[in-house]
Amino acid sequence: MKTHKTPVTDRYIGRTVAITGAAQGLGLAMASRFAAEGASLALADVNDVLLSEAMNQIQVHGDATVSQNVVDVTDSSTVNGWISEVEQTQGAVDVLVNNAGIIRDNRIEKISDADWDDVVDVSLKGAFYCSRAVFPGMRKRRYGRIISFSSMSWRGNFGQSNYVAAKAGVVGLTRTLALEGARDGITANAIAPGLIETPMLASMNDAARNLLIKKVPMMHTGDPSDIAEAAAFLGSEGAAFITGVVLDVDGGISIGSSIR
């Protein structure tokens, strides 16, 4: 992971940020970034071993706290229990980051029922469960930031019908949460990453990966810190008038072809 060159602020002091899928990749990069800006963290992941390792890498500042919970975002009672525990022990959730996601790529004929359900459940149903759990507290306090993970794929991508459906669903969910939260100081936005160097990207086959990198106008993959930068902005107080947007963080790949 690249070390960050941007001067780090203290804009998250007194704020609690809950992140799903926080044990590695983008979730871990965002956790480190929010912590560096003073946030208390509530980290959740289905993988307890990786999550404990991640906890050792994160340093919170001042009076900030950090908690780790094994949470499967596809299980609503576990999600509800996690959020209510965080609210009781660490205070209201100011920022929710719906980051957990998985891929099970294949052509439509080869996608099993389980491959469909698992992918849609983690990205989309998980984002719904977590957002529903934090909404009452955010509405009561008239403050909240919800950041959900879509993907550059949400517009359509060969061999990813399950993932695309989930990530397009995240866009629809985000836009609707934005409407429902707008009068109560709650914003909801999505980040659509391009190709970012994480274990998920490493799990793609080399041929597909190399082909995709050639299509990026900037001609290289992104770093998790590029995503953390966007999340730290969208989750901040300063982003108060931005809601319902899908922020592409992708080196330009969503614009179109850059073949000269």
Count the neighbouring beta carbons within 10 Å of the beta carbon of residue 76.
16
Instruction: Work out whether 40 is an interface residue with ligand NAD (CB under 6 A).
Output: no
Piece in contact with ligand NAD (CB under 6 A), picked from 9-17, 18-26, 34-42, 178-186? 18-26
Contact 97, 17 (CB under 8 A): yes
What's the rounded Cα separation, in Å, for the pair 133 and 117?
A: 21
Residue 237: enclosing H or E segment and its boundaries?
Answer: none
Instruction: Work out whether 189 is an interface residue with ligand NAD (CB under 6 A).
Output: no
Instruction: Work out whether 193 is an interface residue with ligand NAD (CB under 6 A).
Output: yes
Contact track, ligand NAD, 103-142, x by CB under 6 A = -------------------xx-------------------
Instruction: Work out whether 195 is an interface residue with ligand NAD (CB under 6 A).
Output: yes
What's the rounded Cα separation, in Å, for the pair 58 and 33?
A: 9
What's the rounded Cα separation, in Å, for the pair 4 and 65?
A: 22
Piece in contact with ligand NAD (CB under 6 A), picked from 15-23, 87-95, 172-180, 251-259? 15-23
Catalytic residue among 12, 129, 143, 163: 163
| Spatial CA neighbour of 121 closest among 85, 170, 171, 188 | 170
Bridge partners of residue 147, in order along the sequence: 97, 189
Q: Is 163 a catalytic residue?
A: yes
Contact 97, 18 (CB under 8 A): yes
Residues numbered 43-62 forming contacts with ligand NAD, rule: CB under 6 A: 45-47, 50
Residues of this chain that interact with ligand NAD (CB under 6 A) are 20-21, 23-27, 45-47, 50, 71-74, 99-102, 122-123, 149, 151, 193, 195-196, 198-201
